Amino acid sequence: MADGLNMSRRIRRTPYTDRVEAAGVRGFSVVNHMLLPKAFERSVEEDYWHLKEHVQIWDVSCQRQVEISGADAAALVQWMTPRNISNAKIGDCLYIPILDDQAGLINDPVLLKLAEDRFWLSIADSDVLLYAKGLALGRGLDVIVHEPDVYPLALQGPRAEALLSEMFGAEIEKIGFFKFGWIDIFGTRQLIARSGYSRQGGFEIYLNGASLGGPLWDKIWQAGQSYNISPGCPNLIERIEGGLLSYGNEMTSETNPLEIGLGKYCSLDGAVEFIGRPALEKIAAAGPDRLIHGVVFNAPACPTCAVPWPVRVGKSRVGAITSGIYSPRLKKKHWAVAY
Amino acid sequence: MADGLNMSRRIRRTPYTDRVEAAGVRGFSVVNHMLLPKAFERSVEEDYWHLKEHVQIWDVSCQRQVEISGADAAALVQWMTPRNISNAKIGDCLYIPILDDQAGLINDPVLLKLAEDRFWLSIADSDVLLYAKGLALGRGLDVIVHEPDVYPLALQGPRAEALLSEMFGAEIEKIGFFKFGWIDIFGTRQLIARSGYSRQGGFEIYLNGASLGGPLWDKIWQAGQSYNISPGCPNLIERIEGGLLSYGNEMTSETNPLEIGLGKYCSLDGAVEFIGRPALEKIAAAGPDRLIHGVVFNAPACPTCAVPWPVRVGKSRVGAITSGIYSPRLKKKHWAVAY
């Protein structure tokens, strides 16, 4: 149990939290009003090396799903994002920025197209559910917006595929990157995607049904023993080296997608209508004021970046580091994401 | 620093966090993506007795403000709540449930009427900002919805008035319960309300301007020495005994206002139009399925209620306890909020 974080119903446990505690979790963060494990027995550096060689099981239930279904579902999703989703196929996962009317980022979820009229947004840390509900109510759209009883469980690392293939059948090997398929878990049909918040490969099982969580964890844990499985969580070293952005860290509602390298997900050819389009077109025409970069630097220590760490040339501030950590691969140097 | 809670920019520090750490904070919670202190050196029970006798200074910056201004501001706020706000005056604070179309609770903020066309919603733990933005964009309303640079600081306890009166002038004594006025802080005009998340009396200063936070804390801390001031935070014993509800604990989006005693804030006479009205009228006609109660019980220990604690009569479940704690006033008994 975390000493520093008071527990209550308001900060929701997940179907896997009992198992995570039994596995020796040392701390949690809070994402979407839900617990996200942040450390187990090993150090971040030890976990980094393990993740790059073996397989880890991550409780990422906090990636809540916002389900949008109904006759106007596709129209609502398209309105929320500058990415043109008109060619998305059932079975696709798409990384989509979500904007407000100033082209500020509300969230950067993964969109899963379940049917022509049914989508999940697998969200980062903000209540997209309320944004979507507000838009739908305001515009009088024919949609149902709700949070289903779905709790993603990630298997990440180079051995994830072999483990899951052994457990659920070789068909999962045919699932392409950022695509999803279906597997049988305890007689239920469950969604599995080749995705996850690392660059080491792996899958996310979008488990539908809280009561199956404990048994599923146990089953994978047992089968994973011969793969050197370990409990884990998104690894700060690995995600910074991999250039994975974090909503709330590299971007907030003060950030537009063009300044953090998401221009490729912004349709500025006039093909689609979306919230914030005039503002984004204006920014595109003038060019963004700042640009995100990965940087490597030498320093005696790296800050936690609880507030952005100013970067100066002489006396003038030229940017800030939003996330940084010591890189064991580069030795004595730090990776960071900065703007 | 909290061992169990990993820090990053995503979980925002406040203008007072440095001071809170210097004052010996032992843990934080996360509310609205921001740190809320949860414990200092003393126990919850010691803090309870102190709060009932003296004055405490609480960093409640996490009560974020959602500012809604513009020609349609009053219409948008009214649309969001079943409480009839048509008679609200400038200077009033109103506790308002906010509903979705199923009459499920989105939040239960305090509304501050700053002008006929400008309001703050001082929110509990959900992104009301996104709901309001969505509603406004969807309906094409003439409003600006944003989060201002405002960080509430609470002074709670029977000695709060005397301390603040000494510091900022006796005019604050004229401020009625759930009303606000204005005081001068370092040459700036700042809002002060007679309100707060306790039943011991006190005020909340809605400090506008992050840079003033540290100096304001220091100034109050110094003047407070002769009042036996202490750093504090919402006290679980006191708030349960006082019947103060907590969003996320006693209510979620699965809860309607009628089952948690908020019927008096629901205009069901047809006088106002609001989101969820048909659903709420239906619930009112049938009568709510469950009702919240304060309960006192004897038990060897009280659970943390990280999940609601079932209450059974014989073998049948008749309700659940959502928040509970040992009552030092009643001795050996526990207070709880249950449905």
In tens, the pLDDT along A226-274 reads 999 999 999 999 999 999 999 999 999 999 999 999 999 999 999 999 9
SS3 A73: helix
Sequence letter at residue A69: S
**Under an 8 A CB cutoff, do B39 and A13 touch?**
no
Instruction: Read off the pLDDT of residues B86-140 as tens digits, 9 standing for 90 and up.
Output: 999 999 999 999 999 999 999 999 999 999 999 999 999 999 999 999 999 999 9
Interval A52-71: pLDDT, tens: 999 999 999 999 999 999 99
- Encoded tokens for A284: 């595109």
What pLDDT is recorded for position B144? 98
* Predicted model pTM: 0.96
Query: What number of H helices and E strands is found in chain B?
Result: 8, 19
> What pLDDT is stored for residue B5 in this prediction?
65
DSSP, residue by residue, A222-264: HHHGGGT-EEE---HHHHHHTT---BTTTB-TT--GGGGT-GG
Scanning A13-42 for CB atoms below 8 A from B yields 13, 26-30, 33, 38-39
**For a pLDDT cut of 70, what percent of chain A falls above it?**
98
Is A108 in CB contact (< 8 Å) with chain B?
no
CB pair distance less than 8 Å for B29 and A9: no
The correct answer on CATH 3.40.30.10 for the domain covering B65-146+256-289 is no
pLDDT in tens, chain B (339 residues): 334 566 789 999 999 999 999 999 999 999 999 999 999 999 999 999 999 999 999 999 999 999 999 999 999 999 999 999 999 999 999 999 999 999 999 999 999 999 999 999 999 999 999 999 999 999 999 999 999 999 999 999 999 999 999 999 999 999 999 999 999 999 999 999 999 999 999 999 999 999 999 999 999 999 999 999 999 999 999 999 999 999 999 999 999 999 999 999 999 999 999 999 999 999 999 999 999 988 888 877 777 788 888 888 899 998 889 998 888 888 877 777 776
Q: Which of residues 183-212 of B touch A (CB under 8 A)?
A: none
Nearest to A306 among B9, B132, B247 (CB): B9
What is the model's pLDDT at position A12?
A: 95
Greater confidence (A286 vs A305) lies with: A286
Domain with CATH 3.30.70.1400 in chain B: 65-146+256-289
Residue A10 near residue B250, CB atoms below 8 Å: no
Of A9, A13, A125, the CB nearest to B322: A9
Q: Where in chain B is the domain with CATH 3.30.1360.120?
A: 17-64+149-240
Is B10 close to A131, i.e. CB distance below 8 A?
no
Contact state of A2 with B1 under an 8 Å Cβ cutoff = no
What pLDDT, on a 0 to 100 scale, did the predictor assign at position A311? 87
Q: What are A150-174's pLDDT values in tens digits? A: 999 999 999 999 999 999 999 999 9
Residue of B nearest to A129 (CA): B131
A134 touches chain B (CB under 8 A): yes
Q: Please report where in the chains the tokens 């032992």 appear, as a residue.
A: B26
Residue of chain B minimizing CA distance to A27? B4
Q: Taking CB atoms and an 8 Å limit, are B133 and A101 in contact across chains?
A: yes
- CATH says A17-64+149-240 is which class? alpha beta
Q: Is the pLDDT of residue A277 over 60?
A: yes
Q: Where are the alpha helices (DSSP H) in chain B?
A: 17-22, 44-53, 73-80, 128-139, 160-168, 213-223, 236-241, 277-286
Strands B56-59, A309-313: parallel, antiparallel or unpaired by DSSP?
A: unpaired
Give the count of Cβ contacts less than 8 A between chain A and B.
Answer: 172
Query: Terminus-to-terminus CA distance in chain A, angstroms?
Result: 36
